[in-house]
A and B are shown apart, each in its own frame.
Chain A
Amino acid sequence: MAATFFGEVVRTPCRAGTEEEEEEEEGNRETPEDREVRRQLARKREVRLFRRQTKTTLEVSLLEKHPCSKFIIAIGNNAVAFLSSFVMNSGAWEEVGCAKLWNEWCRTTDTAHLSPTEAFCVFYHLKSNPSVMLCQCSCYVAEDQQYQWLEKVFGSCPRKNMQVTILTCRHVTDYKTSESTSSLHTPFLKALKTQNFKEPPFCSLLEQPNIVHDLPAAVLSYCQVWRIPAVLYLCYTDVMKLDLITIEAFKPVLSSKSLKCLVKNIPQSTEILKKLMTTNEIQSNIYT
């Protein structure tokens, strides 16, 4: 017991921990309202995978329904624009699923009617070769939703004979280096791979401390645990909005085994990219 300056008596925390358990329990007991609020919040934050064409929810995980040998995941608007222009324009891709999720980063409050452009996490497979899958993820997947996303996409027992390639961007200030960020030649590409990934990556590996974040980290960790060969190509840039130079920094990845056969017409892709840029240019007047 201790007395404060104001004369109130407070219980000092006991390091034994076992005394006065009952009193602590009283304070921590959850009321039914708390439980209901928690349940509603969990329901709101649930990750749902469904087919847009039929509006049906997928009952098994995506890769169980559509097993693949190559899985390419683009996370973030620059990576998504890169795949859209350089990979998706050559060949017919069919949408096989869409992940709908809500978190505090979403701009909408209506979780029941998220439009496809907002819940942007769409999965495609190549019509001519359905074992090639592609994911375009433009929305932010929060920490508590990443596990759900992985379960719903990869399942609880994934195949090991597939190769996963992840593309994403981070701001250069996340890059741990003793040099000043102003001396770095942005944008630049770094790679991080799982133990089972045997191919040489198309850029230097991310140096220690090689820390990555968010969904790309979750996917890579998952692949490491399940011994799936996976590689993450991380583009460090100083421009986080949709930017031509950042997108073009991903070009070396086009020579990888996963993407080489999917890329057909690079000059046409560059044109498509330019069109994408002009239609998406955010007219922000803050910076000139």
Chain B
Amino acid sequence: MASRYDRAITVFSPDGHLFQVEYAQEAVKKGSTAVGIRGTNIVVLGVEKKSVAKLQDERTVRKICALDDHVCMAFAGLTADARVVINKARVECQSHKLTVEDPVTVEYITRFIATLKQKYTQSNGRRPFGISALIVGFDDDGIPRLYQTDPSGTYHAWKANAIGRSAKTVREFLEKNYTEDAIANDNEAIKLAIRALLEVVQSGGKNIELAIIRRNQPLKMFSAKEIELQVNEIEKEKEEAEKKKSKKTT
């Protein structure tokens, strides 16, 4: 049945599906995992780094991009589609700043991206964007925000979420471990993001990239060394917890 209703995106199937949009969501799952966490005073974006070819410049393979000084996003899915969306969003951020003399709110730019994505699900001859995005930042009121968009053009605010490959596993981990204590301070929120990624990233810290935004501070990308330190701390804590558990049982 699907084959008759999935050729053109403007066609609904008899049971109400837009197959091209659903297929675009499959394309998102082909991208590596990205996780976003909203802390009390910090927002964290963690991604599984894509393996880079020997002769490729690592700096040109980025999953986390700044949209403005106070907003950044991570995506999963088609690289080229992400580039187009990010460029349009960056232009919109500056255009907004010049027009109304205020930086965009995180919700505004998320809605802009979601509206753009929705347009491509309702135009003839065009296919939907094959990316999901996690958009984080602080508004002028100092409140941290995390939004997620998907190829259908919907967007929602989240406390923590994951997109891309194995997103379901990471989301389940977050549901179990996202507590008020876990995000009590900045360091704990960062550790939670790394622990969530380590659930699905096989080769450990060297394949993780992390970015944070603190209130009234610009985007900070963690260096490989800093991530390694955090991973070591997490592993120590895990060992100690296991020792305690085995002591209790004996």
Contacts and interface: CB of A to CB of B under 8 A. Distances in A.
B30 A283 contact: no
A244 interface: yes
A286 B202 contact: no
Contacts of B200: 245
A109 to B, nearest CB: 27
Given A185-B168, A238-B29, A245-B200, A287 B53 contact: no
B26 A173 contact: yes
A274 interface: yes
A285 B27 CA distance: 13
B202 A287 contact: no
Given A185-B168, A238-B165, A285 B79 contact: yes
Given A173-B26, A245-B202, A288 B79 contact: yes
B32 A288 contact: yes
Contacts of A278: 51
B206 to A, nearest CB: 12
B241 to A, nearest CB: 22
B75 interface: yes
A182 interface: yes
B77 A274 contact: no
Given A238-B29, A239-B30, A283 B53 contact: yes
Contacts of B51: 278, 281, 283
Nearest to A241: B30
A244 B31 CA distance: 15
A254 B192 CA distance: 33
A239 B78 contact: no
Interface string A258-288: 0000000000000000100010010101111
A281 B63 CA distance: 19
A242 to B, nearest CB: 12
Interface residues of B, number: 28
A245 B166 CA distance: 9
Interface in B176-232: 200, 202-203
Interface string A148-165: 000000000000000000
Interface centre among A283, A286, A288 (most CB of B within 10 A): A288
A151 to B, nearest CB: 33
A185 B29 CA distance: 12
B91 interface: no
Contacts of A182: 25, 168
B162 interface: no
B72 interface: no
B72 to A, nearest CB: 15
B31 A287 contact: yes
Nearest to A183: B168
B201 to A, nearest CB: 10
A180 to B, nearest CB: 8
A288 B26 CA distance: 13
A239 B165 contact: yes
A274 B32 CA distance: 17
Nearest to B130: A287
A288 B61 CA distance: 8
A249 B56 CA distance: 31
Contacts of B50: 288
Interface in A158-211: 173, 181-186
Interface string B69-84: 0000001111110100
A19 B61 CA distance: 69
B169 interface: yes
A7 B189 CA distance: 79
A186 B200 CA distance: 12
B69 to A, nearest CB: 23
Nearest to B77: A287
Nearest to A287: B30
Contacts of A286: 30, 78-80
Contacts of B63: 288
Interface of A: 173, 181-186, 238-239, 244-245, 274, 278, 281, 283, 285-288
